[in-house]
């Protein structure tokens, strides 16, 4: 008996799976799945990359297309379903506030993650000759790295001097809290901005957000967060944690569909911050259509809105956000997430191919030195402490250097187990508590075991690649 697996009777959120469309094995081209199972749903553990489609997203998008056809321009003001397009983003704001732990006035449904990150940095990254550094995690998502580098360059600094990246200790895979806090103290007053991802995309580490925020602010720095992998994954209290700003995308755990509309948080304490890149959608809605020539911002996050939002993208997000709300929000979802991910970890630890992260760290050091080790298998680099991770487990395959992982990924896909890879060595598996089941987790662990056995017995990894 597992302490993690819930029986159907004690798993009330299980019913939400029927609200989603999960592709079949055939649709996912899982060619190794037997014919009799081709039309079964695949084992989709990739909601960290692209969330599954909520049936409501489809229904709402179809409705809006019909309204476009039947009401045309009038849909902006007089909408048969009460969602006049002029106020469409306002339908999202209460849900966003609930998910990130904010007031409605602190969130905005707008733009896309990277664009929003630039907007926030334009306002909150104000370097001086003495205080100009951005402190972040090493191997941040490339888009964030590009944003940091271009921002510091625009202010006349070089990324080498101004972007400080924190790496795990040699032989370790994730950052230690004490090392992050020590770096903040050490860099001290030279830091203008601390900007981490809430949950790290590669390792799955959930950083101690409140402590980092506080430590940054003690040094007089701003603290912002990229919540791409945190929004809809872990419970957040951005307002209470006194976070200065945050940005997120919605196509990962929030299931808004590819390229979905983004989100942004600005703490109330900055509600009268001048808007540096104003647009008409951030203007007071009472007079927006009077077309005044002078900009008058909506106080708070929504003053940053620039353009009228994509209605199709917004309602596609609205569907799954209703489900988050109906499920009771992030607290019960997190409880189920802890069970699902805990169960996945428990099963993976039983694998004959599992290698402890401590040993895997040692193997990594040996590979770095060019030494042979003869080991084969995988480790989990995501922290073992459930309080330091979200839904995702990141599996690193050994031998390292991209020699094992691509074959494992292909074979998993062939069996209809959909995770995703990040080069060179990681496969990410993320059970999503709104639609994944304990059976999904069991199947993933079982198939992985078979796949690794097949890879091992089919011979020399180096030659096969």
Binding site for ligand PLP (CB under 6 A): 112-114, 141, 143-144, 197, 201, 226, 228-229, 249
Residue number with CB closer to ligand PLP (236 or 451): 236
Residue number with CB closer to ligand PLP (16 or 248): 248
Residue number with CB closer to ligand PLP (201 or 281): 201
Query: Could you tell me the smallest distance in angstroms from the CB atom of residue 259 to ligand PLP?
Result: 8
Query: Could you tell me the smallest distance in angstroms from the CB atom of residue 289 to ligand PLP?
Result: 30
Residue number with CB closer to ligand PLP (111 or 383): 111
Residue number with CB closer to ligand PLP (198 or 431): 198
CA atoms of 239 and 210, how far apart (whole Å): 10
Query: Could you tell me the smallest distance in angstroms from the CB atom of residue 369 to ligand PLP?
Result: 31
CA atoms of 432 and 441, how far apart (whole Å): 10
| Spacing of C-alpha 128 from chain mean position | 32
Residue number with CB closer to ligand PLP (112 or 337): 112
Residue number with CB closer to ligand PLP (229 or 407): 229
Query: Could you tell me the smallest distance in angstroms from the CB atom of residue 302 to ligand PLP?
Result: 20
Residue number with CB closer to ligand PLP (227 or 451): 227
Query: Could you tell me the smallest distance in angstroms from the CB atom of residue 319 to ligand PLP?
Result: 19
Assigned token pair, 365: 């050091």
Query: Could you tell me the smallest distance in angstroms from the CB atom of residue 114 to ligand PLP?
Result: 3
CB 107 within 8 A of CB 301: yes
Asked, as a colleague might, if the bond just before 399 is cis with ω within 30 of 0, I would say: yes
Stretch (H or E) spanning 183: helix 177-187
CB 118 within 8 A of CB 147: yes
Stretch (H or E) spanning 265: strand 263-266
Calculate the alpha carbon distances from 186 to 189, 191, 307, 384 in Å: 9, 10, 41, 28
Residue number with CB closer to ligand PLP (141 or 435): 141
* Side-by-side strand order, sheet with 426-429: 377-380, 393-398, 426-429, 420-422
Query: Could you tell me the smallest distance in angstroms from the CB atom of residue 261 to ligand PLP?
Result: 10
| Spacing of C-alpha 90 from chain mean position | 23
Query: Could you tell me the smallest distance in angstroms from the CB atom of residue 254 to ligand PLP?
Result: 12
Strand-pairing partners, residue 226, are 197, 247
Query: Could you tell me the smallest distance in angstroms from the CB atom of residue 112 to ligand PLP?
Result: 4
| Spacing of C-alpha 295 from chain mean position | 34
Calculate the alpha carbon distances from 34 to 25, 29, 181 in Å: 10, 12, 52
423-461 exposure pattern, b = at least 16 Cβ within 10 A, e = fewer: eebbbbbbbbbbbbbbebbbbbbebbbebbeebeeeeeb
CA atoms of 37 and 39, how far apart (whole Å): 6
Query: Could you tell me the smallest distance in angstroms from the CB atom of residue 340 to ligand PLP?
Result: 21
CA atoms of 426 and 356, how far apart (whole Å): 15
Residue number with CB closer to ligand PLP (114 or 302): 114
Residue number with CB closer to ligand PLP (246 or 444): 246
Query: Could you tell me the smallest distance in angstroms from the CB atom of residue 250 to ligand PLP?
Result: 9
At residue 12, the 3 state secondary structure works out as: helix
Question: Rounded to 5 degrees, what angle do the CA atoms 376, 416, 410 make?
Answer: 45
Give the closest residue to 434 by CA, choosing from 11, 9, 24, 25. 11
Backbone angles phi, psi at 54, to 5 degrees: -80, 135
């Amino acid at each position: 008996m597992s302490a993690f697996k819930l029986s159907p009777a004690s798993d009330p959120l299980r019913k939400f799976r029927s609200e989603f469309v999960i592709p079949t094995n055939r649709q996912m081209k899982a060619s190794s799945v037997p014919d009799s199972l081709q039309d079964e749903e695949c084992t989709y553990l990739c909601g960290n990359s692209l969330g599954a489609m909520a049936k409501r997203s489809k229904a709402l998008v179809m409705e809006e297309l019909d309204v476009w056809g039947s009401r045309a321009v009038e849909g902006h003001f007089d909408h048969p379903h009460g969602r006049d397009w002029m106020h469409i983003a306002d339908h999202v704001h209460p849900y966003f506030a609930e998910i990130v732990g904010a007031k409605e006035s602190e969130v905005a449904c707008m733009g896309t993650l990277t664009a929003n990150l630039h907007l926030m940095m334009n306002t909150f990254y104000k370097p001086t000759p003495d205080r100009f550094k951005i402190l972040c995690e090493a191997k941040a998502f490339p888009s964030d790295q590009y944003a940091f580098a271009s921002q510091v360059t625009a202010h006349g600094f070089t990324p080498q001097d101004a972007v400080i990246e924190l790496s795990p200790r040699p032989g370790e895979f994730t950052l230690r809290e004490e090392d992050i806090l020590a770096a903040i103290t050490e860099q001290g007053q030279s830091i203008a901005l601390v900007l981490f991802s809430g949950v790290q995309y590669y390792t799955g580490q959930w950083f101690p957000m409140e402590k980092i925020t506080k430590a940054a602010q003690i040094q007089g720095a701003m603290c912002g967060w990229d919540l791409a992998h945190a929004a809809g994954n872990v419970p957040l209290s951005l307002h209470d944690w006194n976070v200065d700003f945050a940005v997120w995308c919605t196509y990962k755990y929030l299931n808004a569909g590819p390229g979905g509309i983004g989100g942004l948080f600005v703490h109330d304490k900055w509600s009268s911050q001048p808007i540096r890149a104003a647009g008409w959608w951030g203007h007071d809605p009472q007079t927006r259509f009077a077309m005044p020539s002078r900009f008058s911002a909506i106080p708070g996050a929504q003053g940053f809105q620039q353009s009228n939002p994509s209605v199709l993208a917004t309602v596609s997000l609205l569907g799954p956000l209703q489900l988050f709300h109906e499920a009771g929000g992030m607290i019960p979802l997190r409880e189920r997430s802890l069970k699902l991910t805990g169960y996945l970890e428990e099963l993976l630890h039983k694998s004959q191919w599992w290698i402890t992260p401590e040993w895997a760290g040692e193997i990594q050091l040996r590979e770095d030195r060019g030494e042979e080790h003869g080991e084969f298998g995988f480790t989990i680099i995501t922290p073992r402490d459930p309080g330091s991770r979200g839904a995702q487990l990141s599996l690193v395959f050994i031998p390292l250097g991209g020699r094992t992982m691509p074959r494992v990924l292909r074979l998993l896909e062939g069996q209809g187990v959909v995770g995703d890879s990040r080069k060179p060595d990681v496969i990410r598996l993320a059970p999503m508590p709104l639609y994944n089941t304990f059976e999904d987790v069991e199947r993933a662990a079982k198939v992985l075991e078979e796949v690794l056995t097949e890879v091992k017995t089919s011979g020399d990894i180096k030659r096969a690649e």
